[in-house]
């Protein structure tokens, strides 16, 4: 049993050494982005009017700027939106589906969990 653990630790150590020297491995996020089905959809909501974002990364960027992130559910313009990014006054919100969220997570400026 301990042998299996030791081999696993050796593999982890190998990966950590390679990573330390700048070798980039495919991340869990990459895998999630690949297996999450559907097309990304991200909406700007301003005073209850929803507009589909012209570019996903701009929409991700707007989401980063918000204070709060919450998992929710809303059906809008044929899309099931499961994440909202908002500030407390509630005027301008960003909504996105799961596919959009995993794609946002791949962007270098994404700082949310």
At residue 85, φ and ψ (nearest 5 deg) are -120, 125
| CA angle, residues 20, 21, 25, in degrees to nearest 5 | 75
Residue 55 or 71 with smaller CB distance to another protein: 55
Sort strands 92-96 and 49-52 into parallel, antiparallel or unpaired. unpaired
| Residue 67 binds another protein (CB under 8 A) | yes
Nearest-Å Rg of the Cα atoms of the chain is 18
- The span from the CA of 27 to the CA of 42, in Å, is 23
Q: Which of 23, 37, 49, 71 binds another protein (CB under 8 A)?
A: 49
Least distance in angstroms from the C-beta of 40 to another protein: 7
Tokens of 99: 């596919």
| Residue 26 binds another protein (CB under 8 A) | no
| Residue 110 binds another protein (CB under 8 A) | yes
What residues line the site for another protein (CB under 8 A)?
A: 2-3, 5-6, 9-10, 12-13, 16-17, 19-20, 39-42, 44, 46-47, 49, 51-58, 61-62, 64-67, 87-89, 91-92, 107-111
């Amino acid at each position: 049993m301990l042998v299996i653990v030791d081999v696993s630790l050796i593999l982890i150590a190998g990966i950590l050494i390679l990573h330390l020297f700048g070798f980039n491995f495919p991340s869990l996020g990459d895998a999630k982005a690949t297996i999450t089905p559907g097309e990304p959809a991200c909406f700007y909501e301003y005073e209850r009017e929803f507009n589909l974002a012209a570019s996903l990364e701009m929409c991700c960027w707007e989401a980063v700027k918000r204070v709060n992130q919450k998992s929710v559910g809303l059906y809008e313009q044929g899309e099931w939106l499961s994440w909202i990014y908002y500030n407390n006054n509630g005027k301008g919100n960003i909504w996105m589906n799961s596919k959009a969220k995993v794609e946002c997570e791949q962007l270098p400026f994404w700082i949310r969990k």
